A and B are shown apart, each in its own frame.
Chain A
Amino acid sequence: MLRLFPKRRLLTQRAVCSIQRASFSTTFIRWNESKPEAASSQSAPRKKRPLSRIPIGGTSTQQQKLKETNLEFASWKAALLMIAVGGGLWYFFTSEKKRIQVQQDAEANRGYGKPLVGGPFNLVDTEGKPFTEQNLKGKFSILYFGFTHCPDICPDELDKLGLWLDMLKKEGYKLQPIFITCDPARDSPEVVKEYLSDFHPDIIGLTGTYEQVKDCCKQYRVYFSTPPNVKPGQDYLVDHSIFFYLMDSDGEFIDAMGRNYDNETGPERIKEQIDAFVPKAEREKKKTSGWSLW
């Protein structure tokens, strides 16, 4: 239809111009003559719509109307949906963020990759039975390195530990307390047993050969030094690091607690760590599922 007008104009020009093109023009005239009736009936409504929008063979305007109503219906529902989904997501993310923050703190203390503190060791308890890192699994443990001839710090710390253990036990927290001697030359299982009888009955005493104890102390980054060339029966002191090592139920290191923890902050710290603990298997699962990205 759009073509019609310029061609009609062309025709009028050409009719005046030459006879040679008369044959050409006649066709245009015929075109022009035949079309006006059809054009007059159809061109008016068609003009409003761009050509491309009318599907070939498909004329039903009803269908288009249906689509329009669909669109209107979706707009208010979409708003509702957006509020519902958006609100839900917002709640999910904020709560998840908090939870993950606590876990990340624990993870940071645990260290990435291979644990820096702790590892396999091979010692014997006061009954002479072997005790290894496997015995740390399944329960939280607190380790203390010392020696029976310790003048003042070890007994103080062990007394403190006894108090903590009672306090934690009252609140239902289970903790396996372990005393490891740094002085295997003098501290036989019997000596350790006798020594620990003065302290909390739950404390497990461990000893071993010098090499075994040295290896264990190395795993836990415990410094200890025995004077060189000690003769049997000689009186000497062992210099050693004084920390409590808190181990989780997977037998992995969580925290080292120095002498600055008193009877209030000590048990509090232990409880905090036990409460925030997520078993290793679950942590691994989290990592592979990708949730840990948050």
Chain B
Amino acid sequence: MGLFSSSSDTATVAPNRSKRQVCWDARDEYLNCLEKNNVLNPFEDKYSSVIKKECAQQEKEFESKCVKSWVHYFKEKYVVDLKRERFLKDMEAQGGQQLPFPIDKK
């Protein structure tokens, strides 16, 4: 994947299905590692030491197999998804019920 990593800043042709899959696999590895180490937000400084210590290898792999914009996007998405998940869990704990979506107008 050296070819892809070298062009990570100057990508004009979109990654195809196999390249996407390679990127997604690396992403999953990395995000799993974050979750395992209770990293809630990879952008926050307080987690940077944990990431460096526990997930350095996965991060390197992730950043080499995905373009920069994707890396940033997936990290952001991880934060949002985590927040959403925790919110839903909180609501469920409080006895909340999920409404069907879209809400039936009739």
Q: Which of B29-37, B41-49, B68-76, B88-96 contacts A (4 or more CB under 8 A)?
A: B68-76
B104 at the interface (CB under 8 A from A): no
Q: Which residue of B lies closest to A147 (CB)?
A: B14
Measured between C-beta atoms, what is the minimum distance from B8 to chain A in Å? 7
B13 touches A191 (CB 8 A): yes
A93 interface hit (Cβ, 8 Å): no
Please determine whether A235 and B9 come into contact, CB atoms closer than 8 angstroms: yes
Give the interface centre of B13, B14, B24, B102 by most chain A CB atoms within 10 Å.
Answer: B14
Size class of the A contact interface (CB-based, 8 Å):
20 to 34
Interface of A is mostly: loop
Checking A187, A191, A237 against B73 with a beta-carbon cut-off of 8 angstroms, the contacting residue is A237
Residues of chain A in range 140-156 having any CB-CB distance to chain B below 8 Å: 147-152, 155
Query: Which chain B residue lies CB-closest to A155?
Result: B20
Contacts of A198 in B (CB 8 A): 16-17
B11 is an interface residue with CB less than 8 A from chain A: yes
A151 touches B17 (CB 8 A): no
A186 part of interface (Cβ distance < 8 Å): yes
B10 contacts A235, C-beta separation under 8 Å:
yes
**Closest A residue, CB atoms, query B23:** A151
> Does A233 reach chain B (CB closer than 8 Å)?
yes
List of A residues within 8 angstroms of B9 by Cβ: 233-235
Min CB–CB distance A9 → chain B (angstroms): 84
Q: When chains A and B are docked, how far (Å) is the Cα of A198 from the Cα of B19?
A: 11
Contact B13 A236 (CB under 8 A): no
B26 close to chain A: CB less than 8 A = no
B-chain residues with CB within 8 Å of residue A197 when the two chains form the complex:
16
Q: Which residue of B lies closest to A236 (CB)?
A: B69
A288 close to chain B: CB less than 8 A: no
Q: Is B97 an interface residue (CB 8 A)?
A: no
Q: Which residue of A lies closest to B10 (CB)?
A: A233
A260 an interface residue at 8 Å Cβ cutoff? Answer: yes
CA distance A151 to B73 in the complex (A): 8
Q: How far is the CB of A50 from chain B (nearest CB, A)?
A: 64
Q: With a CB–CB cut-off of 8 A, which chain B residues contact A147?
A: 14
Q: List residues of chain A with CB under 8 Å of any chain B CB.
A: 147-152, 155, 186-187, 191, 194-195, 197-198, 232-237, 258, 260
Report, nearest first, the 9 A-B pairs whose CB atoms are least far apart. A148-B14, A198-B17, A233-B10, A151-B70, A237-B69, A149-B14, A235-B69, A235-B67, A235-B11
20 A-B contact pairs sorted by A residue (CB < 8 Å): A149-B11, A149-B14, A150-B14, A151-B66, A151-B69, A151-B73, A151-B74, A152-B24, A191-B12, A191-B13, A194-B13, A194-B14, A195-B14, A233-B12, A235-B8, A235-B11, A236-B69, A237-B73, A260-B101, A260-B102
